[in-house]
Amino acid sequence: MNVAVWIVSGVLAALYLMAGFTKLAKTKQALLAEPKMAWAGDFTSGQVKGIGAVEVAGAIGLVLPWLTGVAPILTPIAALGLALVQVGAAITHIRRGEGATVPINLVLCALAVFVAVVRFGQL
């Protein structure tokens, strides 16, 4: 089980680092030019940057505390936080009529919950 949770944690961390850094590095206008980022139009630039920062912090929290043994409780907490980000994303996509994106949000949410449950159990 430990190998599985490390694999899932690593994949999630990589995805959230890429997504978060994209939101932090690009302007809102540049994000809006991408069809899958149309949701950004519903948020201020600061809110989009905030979402990106949360994703980067969550990605780091998925791996670093457990890997180093320093405050390992932060790993399952980060996983729960990222699950909540996906719940918010799903709600946003549903509200915008972008239902085709919701299954991706639900899979990412389920994977984050898996990491949280296993890591809480290993504390």
pLDDT digits (tens, 9 = 90+) for 22-38: 999 999 999 999 988 99
CA dihedral 80, 82, 85, 86 (to 10 degrees): -100
| Cα dihedral 105/113/59/15 (nearest 10) | -40
Tell me the torsion sign for CA atoms 93, 37, 53, 71: positive
Q: Which residues of the chain have pLDDT under 50?
A: none
What is residue 51's predicted lDDT score, i.e. its pLDDT? 97
Domain count, the chain: 1
Start-to-end CA distance of the chain, whole Å, equals 14
Q: Which domain holds residue 83?
A: 1-121
pTM for the full predicted model: 0.92
